[in-house]
Amino acid sequence: MTTPPRRLHPRKTPVQARAVETRDRILDAAARVFGRHGYAAGTTNRIAEAAGLSVGSLYQYFPNKDAILVELVRRHVREGTAAVEAALAAAIRDDPGDVEALLAAVVDAAIATHAGDPALHQVLFEESPRPPELLAELHELEAAAVDRATALLATDPRVQVADPALAARLVVTTVESLVHRTIATRAADPVDVPTFRRELLTLLTRYLGLA
């Protein structure tokens, strides 16, 4: 067993139910505080207060401020991935060959994930410092998503693209980017979400030669 690279990992692997709960309370508080104040102004004292703890306690669960952020990102991504996977599984169960339905499921899951707390999303994925370690993780996750998409596109013979892996990559990136941009970024003149959803699906299906 090797020592974890320290520094960005939770200080204690919570085994007791109480500890797990406290950790989550801290993360929830951090989500609120970061969402409201941004990363820089989201001070550890504020987070502790929001969590109903003292700073000292907070630092018993996380070695430093960045570690909280990293864990928040991880949790967020884990939940997002799970949501997409679940939606995908359901769609495949309904009709395995219907790529349009799969796309719709993925887009809906992505929208749902972003809609939860747009401000937090913004902080987590744009404003905050992302240590290389975390970036690597995120890139790996994205690569996995692209692989998954490549495989799924291959199941529908109607899909007409020169390079399926490249197309998959563009699809994943487009969904992520546009949904993020549209939902997370507070626009002055926000689009109607259902309209945006429909148009994004149109874009994707036309790109893939499905329409």
Partner DNA sequence: CATGAATGAGGGTTCATTCAT
Partner DNA sequence: AATGAATGAACCCTCATTCAT
What are the tokens at 5?
């690279």
Distance, in Å, from the CA atom of 14 to the CA atom of 133, rounded to the nearest integer, reads 22
CB of 203 to a copy of itself, least distance (A): 5
Residue 114 binds which entry of a copy of itself, DNA, none, with Cβ cut-offs from 5 to 8 Å by kind? Answer: none
CB of 86 to a copy of itself, least distance (A): 25
206 lines the binding site for a copy of itself (CB under 8 A): yes
Other CB atoms within 10 A of residue 6 CB: 9
Residue 16 binds which entry of DNA, a copy of itself, none, with Cβ cut-offs from 5 to 8 Å by kind? Answer: DNA
Q: Quick one: 44 or 205, whose CB is closer to DNA?
A: 44
Residue 38 binds which entry of a copy of itself, DNA, none, with Cβ cut-offs from 5 to 8 Å by kind? Answer: a copy of itself
What's the sign of the alpha-carbon dihedral 166, 172, 176, 181? positive
Distance, in Å, from the CA atom of 41 to the CA atom of 37, rounded to the nearest integer, reads 5
Distance, in Å, from the CA atom of 113 to the CA atom of 59, rounded to the nearest integer, reads 29
Distance, in Å, from the CA atom of 47 to the CA atom of 38, rounded to the nearest integer, reads 12
CB of 103 to a copy of itself, least distance (A): 14
Q: Quick one: 95 or 127, whose CB is closer to a copy of itself?
A: 127
CB of 141 to a copy of itself, least distance (A): 11
Site string for a copy of itself, 50-89 (x = CB under 8 A): ----------------------------------------
Residues 6+ apart with CB under 8 A from 133: 5, 8, 70
Closest to 158 in 3D by CA, of 208, 122, 90, 196 = 208
Positions that interact with DNA (CB under 7 A): 12, 16, 18-19, 22, 40-45, 53-57, 59-61, 63-66
